[in-house]
């Protein structure tokens, strides 16, 4: 470890942690909470404030509906945990179990949606095809034309900012130090084991590192000899002025996704559309023969959502790595989403109050990375959440704690291992419901 400056203040504040969590997004916070609840000494490192990235910029959907089969059991557990979180964290996170309603206006998608309902039922999930009468009851005044609607009553929603704040305060009660302004530069190894993390503010020693850095995870993994074929998606979200009561459900059509917040504002997005962005290292990994066989069919299957803007793509390739917190906001996406809402609810007038953008880190198969890597298995990876991080975070936190404390999980983590990008068979492309 020669040449590494040890920050004595950092070491004193962290009280010689058992585990360092890199990343103060909701996945990292949930992991830190579950670890601390098991009486491990934990500190969290991030270059920005907790939840400053996508964790506070997402839709707030907590949905089991539409998940890939590999991910569904984890998300079902996460859903149960969300119902318990207000009590566990001792905070109002605006949890509402109003269900998730997905409508498609594309005839070619109808069979896919019906097959997914059959899959959900095989796992005991309460998803079903919704009748036109049910849609009207769930979303009064909704006039969109659609071919099929599916509904999962047990799905819900929460306020991302309040959820991040609740986790942060709960970690304070558990005496977990959260060091902001300390960006992780390198996971340090010595003598065949993990030694700690080198940061902007010095070195933090610990025998175990949890890597939950979102868009920043790829660069740290590459330093450990694990090229990761991740890409990034910039998405824009808007929040309207308060509206009359619309629905308690989260709704996603072919053109817009929306939910109504506790104060009556409506969060709207242009139906999941976003701009595909890569950095040079990620592009190199994605262009390997195996990843091309995975990434290209997956992109083509979901090309209605994943846009390629040549100017933006070329600009991203000029960066060393893609780790910004603010995605590039698209005002045309805001306009499109509000136009769709005006068509769906013609009796209402839609006025934006604010808008923002965020960046999603995604893998070629749209499944997260949940694995133990590094010397002596001292690095636990929870990254590549592919836009599902907010909803799945509580269960991922529990999985991370299990991996750190026992080396195993009651979930089958084979589909989420890091080496699948090297030796696994490409996953059949799936339409992202």
Q: Is the pTM of this model over 0.75?
A: yes
Q: How many CB atoms lie within 10 A of CB 222?
A: 16
Closest-CA residue to 388 (of 168, 94, 75, 152): 75
Q: pLDDT tens, 225-251?
A: 998 888 888 899 999 999 999 999 999
The reported pLDDT for the residue numbered 374 is 82
The reported pLDDT for the residue numbered 210 is 98
Maximum distance among all Cα pairs of the chain, rounded to whole angstroms: 69
Cα separation, 64 vs 348, in Å, equals 30
Q: pLDDT tens, 84-137?
A: 999 999 999 999 999 999 999 989 889 999 999 999 999 999 999 999 999 999
Which residues lie below 8 Å from residue 364, measured CB to CB, with a gap of 6+? 229, 231, 286, 291, 294, 295, 298, 421
Superfamily designation of domain 8-423: FAD/NAD(P)-binding domain (3.50.50.60)
Which residues lie below 8 Å from residue 401, measured CB to CB, with a gap of 6+? 31, 34, 35, 37, 38
Virtual CA dihedral for 391, 416, 305, 240, nearest 10 degrees?
10
The reported pLDDT for the residue numbered 313 is 59
Cα separation, 130 vs 253, in Å, equals 14
- Do 384 and 230 form a contact (C-beta atoms < 8 A)? yes
Listed by start position, the domains of the chain span 8-423
Cα separation, 35 vs 392, in Å, equals 17
Which parts of the chain have pLDDT scores under 50? 1-14, 321, 323
Cα separation, 351 vs 360, in Å, equals 26
- Do 400 and 74 form a contact (C-beta atoms < 8 A)? no
Q: CA triplet 47, 53, 58: central angle to 5 degrees?
A: 165
């Amino acid at each position: 470890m020669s040449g590494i400056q040890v920050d004595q203040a950092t070491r004193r504040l962290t009280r010689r942690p058992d585990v360092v969590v890199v990343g103060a997004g909701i996945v990292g916070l949930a992991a830190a909470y579950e670890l601390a609840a098991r009486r491990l000494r934990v500190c969290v490192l991030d270059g920005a404030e907790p939840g400053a990235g996508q964790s506070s910029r997402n839709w707030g959907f907590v949905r089991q509906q539409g998940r890939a089969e590999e991910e569904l059991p984890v998300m079902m557990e996460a859903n149960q945990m969300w119902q318990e979180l207000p009590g566990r964290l001792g905070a109002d996170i605006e949890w509402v179990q109003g269900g998730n309603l997905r409508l498609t206006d594309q005839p070619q998608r109808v069979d896919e949606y019906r097959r997914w309902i059959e899959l959900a039922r095989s796992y005991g999930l309460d998803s079903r095809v919704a009748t036109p009468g049910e849609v009207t009851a769930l979303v009064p005044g909704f006039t969109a034309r659609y071919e099929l609607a599916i509904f999962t009553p047990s799905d819900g929603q929460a306020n991302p900012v309040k959820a991040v704040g609740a986790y942060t305060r709960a970690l304070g009660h558990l005496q977990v130090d959260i060091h902001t302004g300390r960006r992780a530069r390198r996971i340090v190894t010595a003598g065949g084991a993990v030694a700690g993390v080198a940061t902007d503010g010095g070195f933090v020693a610990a025998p175990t590192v949890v890597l939950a850095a979102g868009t920043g995870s790829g660069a740290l993994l590459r330093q450990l000899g694990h090229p990761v074929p991740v890409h990034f998606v910039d998405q824009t979200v808007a929040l309207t002025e308060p509206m009359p009561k619309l629905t308690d459900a989260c709704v996603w059509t072919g053109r817009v996704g929306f939910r109504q917040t506790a104060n009556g504002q409506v969060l709207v997005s242009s139906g999941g559309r976003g701009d595909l962005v890569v950095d040079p290292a990620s592009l190199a990994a994605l262009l390997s023969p195996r990843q091309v066989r995975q990434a290209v069919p997956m992109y083509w299957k979901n090309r209605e959502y994943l846009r390629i803007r040549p100017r933006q793509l070329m600009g991203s390739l000029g960066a060393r790595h893609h780790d910004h917190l603010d995605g590039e906001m698209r005002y045309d996406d805001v306009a499109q989403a509000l136009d769709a809402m005006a068509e769906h609810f013609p009796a209402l007038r839609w006025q934006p109050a604010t808008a923002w953008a965020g960046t999603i880190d995604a893998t070629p198969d749209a499944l997260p990375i949940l694995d133990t890597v590094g010397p002596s298995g001292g690095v636990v990876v929870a990254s590549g959440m592919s836009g599902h991080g907010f909803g799945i975070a509580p269960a991922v936190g529990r999985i991370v704690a299990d991996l750190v404390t026992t080396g195993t999980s009651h979930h089958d983590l084979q589909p989420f291992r890091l080496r699948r990008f090297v030796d696994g068979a490409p996953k059949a492309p799936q339409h992202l419901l």
